[in-house]
Amino acid sequence: MTLYRDSTRMKKISLMAAMIYLISISLNFSQNTYADTHPETTYTMPDIIASTDLSQADNIEKILSSEELKRDLRAFARSLTQSDIVKQSLFNRIALLSLRDELDHINETVTQSNLGVEFIHYQLFHQTCLALKNKTRTQPAFADETQGLQGLIAHQFERLSDEEFVQMSLALGWSVPNAERYVVNVYKQLQGKRLLSQSDMMNIAVNTHLYHVLNTVIPVANKVIKQEQDRRFIIQPDVLITLENDIELSATIVRRRDQKMPNTTALQFTIYADEKAHIKTAMHAAAHGYIGMVANSRGKRSSSNAIVPWEHEGEDAAALIHWITKQQWSNKNVVMYGGSYNGFTQWATAKHMPKGLKAMAPYVAANLITGLPYENNIALTGNFQWPLYVTNNKMVDNSVYNDWQRTNAVISELYTSGRPMVDIDDIANRPSPWLQKWLAHPEDDAFYQRMVPHQEEYKAIDVPVLTITGYFEGGQISALNYLNEHYKYNDQANHALLIGPYNHWSAQNKPRSHHGNYKLDPVALEKDTEEVVFAWFDHLLKGAKKPTLVQSKVNYQVMGANEWRFADSLRELNQHTVSFYIQKNTPNKMQTYSLGRVVPLRSQQYIEQVIDLADRSEQRNLAPRQVIGSRIDKQGGIQIETDVFEQDMELTGAITGYFDIEVNKHDVDIGFNYYEVTRNGEVFHLNNYRSRASYADDMGSRRLLAPHKKRRVPIVNARFTSKLIEKGSKLVLVLNVNKNMDAQVNLGTGKAVNHEDISQAGEPLTLKWYLSSQINLPLKPWVKSE
């Protein structure tokens, strides 16, 4: 997890860390360390961190103000070789250059990488140091000279257009308290170690220094930004709107001061109440020539209603759009955009199709039954605290996510103790009625169908839609499910997809250089989500040209090829599949099973696994923490692989097909990890799959398995990816039972899985994978672009 800012485009920790799916990434504590470092290099944990009680606020202040620690971290940064620094992500690299006082190198890196104002906080920090000839790095030293920093920022703003000013204010939208909370969690995560790896030391150095920079720059910047935004825009921070049935909604509305004529409103509808963030979001829309509005769910901010997540968003947003069209500043056109929960609210609104809605751009759109807390009917553990985060108060409760270690301990206790999923809030000692309500609905029933379009209701959605998601996005399944259902029931749908190597955060924003330890292709960095979205709105409503990255119905980035490609439909892409079957290898091959093209003659042959579901000393089907590795951890699974490809291939799409299985119980959660292994042995993790066999035919109706009877289980909602598979590489699947801390464990009793506990595990699970299973890989020969 990286630090999150106070803007909804780049919202560090405060909102986006709690946005659906991302918490699972933060728990893995891997996102700020991207590049390989020297494993033999170790460092001693700084004494002040090792010996301090981190539960006391005064002690935290002591660490953060320690001049000795600052000197040690600067010495660490200066001890690194240029090779060490170049290997790092841009996030880490800029911070290390800042610790080394290398402003020229920072500016050079920013220019070469086309980063714009992404790291302006570091540049302002060092520019002020130089201007004042002040080389100290203490807050008091700067406090006496804030006038100089304030003047420097004001001078920067004078020359900027509205759009450039907004981009600058977004880049300076960091939350200092959240930066402090983040670095304290880094300390807690590592405090028990006596020796640190270079990667560990990097995390301490980068995030401690980032806090110091932000603590210097942001308070001053906020004052200047407030003055400048009031000069440029008419800002109504909290307008209380009363709808029918006494429903009240708080909204932030921003217009340009030179906007005289009625105009189109660009609306985000969100439960994440944060007035400062809303102003920035709406201001960005205004800078693009729209009336910017961010409205909150009922019960948030000034609304006197009860807070109800998910259930009423569609009807409330539709009524709000009707209200907007009646305002004198409105030209009766409304477009919606936004990500995660704010993507869900667009689909919830589309269920009602208000007359004023003209287009919508949902990115990483969430859905309770296809994302969190459920994925393919399996309850996930990763964001169990989310209901408390959004319902504890009128804004959001940041304290919910303050302690990563506590969250990890709760999830670990749930898994190792074998207690049922419904006990997770009891283990956390934080009752969560909303979570319990959702756990009472483990299938796609009327409860969920009342929230978003269902079946034939998609036919009425006739406005243009742009879906944006990513290959590494936890909620990709939800986003693509909306798209697939839209086309299934409306073959005339005007619905485009933009997808690339992005996660939950980067799919909504401008991506950083790395995802984990995978370095994105340069063209993948060209996507700036809101810029693409506003360009797309301009194309639809103002006759502007299409955005460069939205040229067709399906717009996807091929990893490893450094290019974007375009297709007319997902159906067109899915026509290019190759069917594989599980086959035994000849005795002289090291790999026991392969993926072959020939249909097995003996379809009753099978591979058998025996798994003790009560044994919590192991985990199975857990996705690896990093994208790129040197080996495959089978976790007791069954490895099957293609032959080495004799030519370059394009892998674009999702795995389809079916598994023929047999178990000795009434149900099972199956899955696989999906890899490319290159000719030099590098292992690239493409994605992970998990599915409940009893719901694979129909997410809304459970059909239990008959023990000791063969059952065909379709592969449903597998994740989409796209990658150049070079000659000499092969594709590998590791088949397994899904049994890990990331999700509940299905014990196969046939009873409600959310209430199963380890005492019901019974005899070990016997799972037979029949060789008649068919696995369709979305492969075709690579054809170079002209």
Over the stretch 521-579, which tens digit does the pLDDT of each residue have? 999 999 999 999 999 999 999 999 999 999 999 999 999 999 999 999 988 888 889 99
Q: Could you write out the DSSP letters of every residue in 208-258?
A: HHHHHHHHHHHHHHHHHHHHHHHHHEEEEEEEEEE-GGG-EEEEEEEEETT
pLDDT at 20 over 70: no
Alpha-helical segments (H) within 3-54: 22-28, 47-50
pLDDT confidence of residue 590: 61
* Rounded-to-integer distance, Cα 269 and Cα 243, Å: 15
DSSP 262: -
pLDDT confidence of residue 263: 98
The chain-wide mean pLDDT, for the chain, equals 91
Q: pLDDT class for 21, splitting at 50, 70, 90? A: very low
Q: Could you write out the DSSP letters of every residue in 69-124?
A: HHHHHHHHHHHS-HHHHHTS-HHHHHHHHHHTT-HHHHHHHHHHTT-TTTTHHHHH
| The most confident of 30-39, 89-98, 260-269, by mean pLDDT | 260-269
Could you give phi then psi for residue 124, rounded to 5 degrees?
-65, -40
pLDDT confidence of residue 1: 26
In the chain, where the domains are located = 32-229, 233-367+455-572, 374-447, 578-781
**How is domain 578-781 classified at the architecture level of CATH?**
Sandwich (2.60)
Least confident of 16-25, 83-92, 256-265, 656-665: 16-25
Q: What is the mean pLDDT of residues 102-131?
A: 86
Q: pLDDT class for 4, splitting at 50, 70, 90? A: very low
pLDDT at 408 over 90: yes
pLDDT confidence of residue 700: 97
Assign domain 233-367+455-572 one CATH number from 3.40.50.720, 1.10.10.10, 3.40.50.1820, 3.30.70.260: 3.40.50.1820
pLDDT at 35 over 80: no
pLDDT at 747 over 70: yes
pLDDT confidence of residue 327: 98
pLDDT 10s digits, 680-724: 999 999 999 999 999 999 999 999 999 999 999 999 999 999 999
* Rounded-to-integer distance, Cα 608 and Cα 455, Å: 39
Least confident of 546-555, 592-601, 659-668: 592-601
* Rounded-to-integer distance, Cα 398 and Cα 222, Å: 21
Residue 381: is it exposed, middle or buried by C-beta count within 10 angstroms (0-12/13-18/19+)?
A: buried
Please answer whether residues 360 and 465 qualify as being in contact, where contact means their C-beta atoms are separated by less than 8 angstroms.
yes
pLDDT at 452 over 90: yes
pLDDT confidence of residue 588: 56
One-letter amino acid for residue 193 of the chain: K
Pick from 750, 439, 757, 749: nearest CA to 616: 757
Residue 186 CB: number of other CB atoms within 10 A? 20
pLDDT confidence of residue 786: 74
Q: pLDDT class for 591, splitting at 50, 70, 90? A: low
* Rounded-to-integer distance, Cα 13 and Cα 199, Å: 21
pLDDT confidence of residue 68: 94
pLDDT at 22 over 80: no
pLDDT confidence of residue 19: 40
pLDDT confidence of residue 26: 34
In three-state secondary structure terms, 628 is strand
Least confident of 6-20, 56-70, 271-285, 520-534: 6-20
Least confident of 57-66, 447-456, 556-565, 592-601: 592-601
pLDDT 10s digits, 140-186: 444 455 677 888 888 889 889 999 999 999 999 999 999 999 999 99
* Rounded-to-integer distance, Cα 351 and Cα 457, Å: 7
Q: What is the mean pLDDT of residues 327-343?
A: 98
